[in-house]
A and B are shown apart, each in its own frame.
Chain A
Amino acid sequence: MMRRKGLVAILDGLLAYTVAFTAIGLVALLSTTAQEANLKTTYTLNVWAEDLADAVGMSLTDGAEDPTRWLDPDSIGDEKEAEIREALTASLGRIEARLGVQIRVEAGADTIYGDRLAGVGESATAKRFLVSSGGSVSVLKVEVGI
């Protein structure tokens, strides 16, 4: 009788261990899968923000001078600047609609495109320096959220 009670106790212990092991394994697998999905989203948004920052930065140049040097929008001229802004608005609007993201672009204190990101779960920001012909520096900021 005592031996049988001992055997049942061992089996109870084995049962408890197995349940605990399985539960912990399930929790670990679920949290790893969720973390991986978040990492991929964050990486993708960062890549998009960096690419758009390069493209917008390159757009704010005087192509006749040096297309690799980013200039302050004030040195481009009002008419040219208006053309560039209109093209940027159309391009960024297309990208927003196609990918289902929100985009905001600021150059210094000036908002070039978009409103404050609202209701986004993840976002990424890329920054570039804009250097004017006079040597003053302002910051170009591109935010992408989803």
Chain B
Amino acid sequence: MDMKMRSKSGKRGQVFAIDVLFSILPVMMILGASLQYAYLGEEQMKILSADSQRQGAMQALSEHVMAEYRSSPDGQPYVTAEPDYACGGLKDAIGNAPGMPQGYEYHVRVEMPSSSEEHICLDDELWSHGGTQLLDAYYVGMESSTRLPGASGIRFMLEYDEEGRPIPGQIAGVSFTVWDADPADYAKT
């Protein structure tokens, strides 16, 4: 079937043949799908980039704390079941962390201790840095943070006794978690 028009002078001319239209159709469909795919790829890259930044922030804090721990084996106890010492070494190391990226909440928690308590050092307290506050601020509870995407990692260190010395064989885990700061909390600070 031909699609023909008549010009003003009455001559017939061809506009498009149906087979050409059929040939164009799959090309247009694939071009459309490719554009969608490129858009989805861009969105995926944004997510990967944000995840990578959170991982970087978490690794920065954990590396700093581990470096402080390794350089002061006889300093203040880092992880200890002695409540009087309250993991002073760990808190100091977090508080000393220089230039942590803004816009994140940082949480540190002791896990897998040799003590029978699930959480040691300060019961359920977590050390955290929210918004623009200093790293020695405290938050209790994790409910608000679990709604947002985060990055976490675990490092291992020996537990300390009441004299500030490592206890051989007693290894605890310290988890570091970074979330995007809740904009509502951010606005309050």
Contacts and interface: CB of A to CB of B under 8 A. Distances in A.
Interface of A: 4, 7-8, 11-12, 14-15, 18-19, 21-22, 25-26, 29, 36, 40, 44, 47-48, 51-52, 54-56, 58-61, 63, 67-68, 83-88, 90-92, 94-95, 98-99
Contact of B156 (A15, A21, A51, A83): A51
A26 B30 contact: no
B158 A55 contact: yes
Interface residues of B, number: 38
Contact of B66 (A51, A60, A84, A91): A51
Interface of B: 17, 19-20, 23-24, 26-27, 30-31, 33-34, 37, 41, 44, 48, 55, 66, 70, 73-74, 111-112, 114, 153-158, 165-173
A122 to B, nearest CB: 16
Nearest to B33: A22
Given A22-B34, A22-B37, A44-B153, A95 B173 contact: yes
A29 B41 contact: yes
Contact of B30 (A15, A54, A83): A15
Contacts of A67: 73-74, 165-166
B43 to A, nearest CB: 12
A32 to B, nearest CB: 9
B62 to A, nearest CB: 9
13 contacts: A11-B20, A15-B30, A22-B33, A47-B155, A51-B156, A52-B171, A54-B70, A59-B166, A59-B169, A86-B169, A91-B169, A91-B172, A95-B112
A124 to B, nearest CB: 13
Contacts of B70: 54
Contacts of B17: 4
Given A8-B23, A11-B27, A98-B112, A88 B156 contact: no
